[in-house]
Amino acid sequence: MDIQSTETPALIGLDWGTSSLRAYLFDVSGRVLDSRHSACGIMHLPKPRESGGFDDVFESICGDWLNASAVPVIAAGMVGSAQGWAEAPYIAAPANSAPLIGALKTVVSSRGTLVHIVPGIIERGAFPNVMRGEETQIFGALTAHPALGAGGKTLIGLPGTHAKWAFVVDGYLERFLTFMTGEVFAVLRDYTILGRTMHPCAGRDDDAFLRGIDMAVHAGATGMLSTIFSTRTLGLTGELRPEQQSDYLSGLLIGHELAGLSSHLASQGSTLDDWKLGLIGAENLCERYRTALHRIGAPDAGILHGTTECGLFHIAREAGLLPAIARSIPE
């Protein structure tokens, strides 16, 4: 009799984005047995994609796992984009996880393994929006925290290079916004005059960060193109020390993002108070957003952990990729 142990590998899940790859080895209960990280994001493959760049990275990260046990593989993120391993379609919002599961894109690796790629989500209209990877985190969060998904309105923020805010109503991802906050912060710091007077800061300078948020909220009507210049001028007038300027700019941009989110909600006749708030992302970045949300008087936002793993496992299970453990247990 072959009862599967919960120590036995049952699934490989890949979170394969632009700048990195994270791989998880799950048992049949969804527990993570092992995980690995690689800097070989889809824009950083060691070989071109035409020369087997994806296959090589996949083999180097997952080869020994697959040698030991030929488990199914699921992947999410930019790996499914036009520049990825195979292009997975976009599913139109509003959507729950069902249409994603019904539209998994498969690609066969050089060793013959079927890799199932999760589709992205698109919101069409005059101002289209797209996501790839975040949908898996969002449905993972709803699975891991059923209270978020069951009834009511949840607003999930995913800070980062291209921050997303997803409006989830009764388990459906209704619509979402993208803010290029992380990427804009990096290029302003690294390539414009604003970075020239900045000195690194060991920790986070809360005074400067909060001051940036306040500036965005109170003087923000002239817009970000104008307010960011204050990073320089407050330095020139001695009101902002060089080691404060980075956190000031960070607060300014996050403040503009949250002000934009609030304006969007207002245009829909809503406010942040109408939503349960959740945050998904790097801990210190989520903490910045919690601080900023608190500063503007928004409800407390919970930081949601393990959502990527949970989302990959959930979608694989719902898609029938896992062995049916329950049915193999003898009565």
Strand partners, 155: 167, 277
Q: Residue count of the chain, please give it.
A: 331
Of the pair 151, 242, the CB lying nearest a copy of itself is at 242
> Which one of the spans 105-113, 167-175, 234-242, 285-293 is the region binding a copy of itself (CB under 8 A)?
234-242
Q: Which of 110, 226, 271, 328 binds a copy of itself (CB under 8 A)?
A: 226
Residue 88 near a copy of itself by CB under 8 A = no
Count of other CB atoms within 10 angstroms of residue 319: 17
Residue 224 near a copy of itself by CB under 8 A = yes
* DSSP state at residue 109: -
- Give me the least distance between CB of 263 and a copy of itself, in Å please: 4
- Give me the least distance between CB of 115 and a copy of itself, in Å please: 23
Residue 264 near a copy of itself by CB under 8 A = yes
Residue 129 near a copy of itself by CB under 8 A = yes
**Residue 185 CA neighbour count, 13 Å, CB half:** 24
Tokens at 38, concatenated: 């690689």
- Helix, strand, coil share of the chain (percent; to 5): 45, 20, 35
Residue pair 92/123 in contact by the 8 Å Cβ criterion: yes
Q: Which of 177, 198, 210, 277 binds a copy of itself (CB under 8 A)?
A: 177
Q: State how far Cα 243 lies from the chain centre.
A: 29
Binding positions for a copy of itself, rule: CB under 8 A: 122, 124, 126-130, 162, 177-181, 183-184, 187-188, 190-193, 215, 219, 221-230, 233-234, 236-237, 239, 253, 256-257, 259-261, 263-264, 266-267
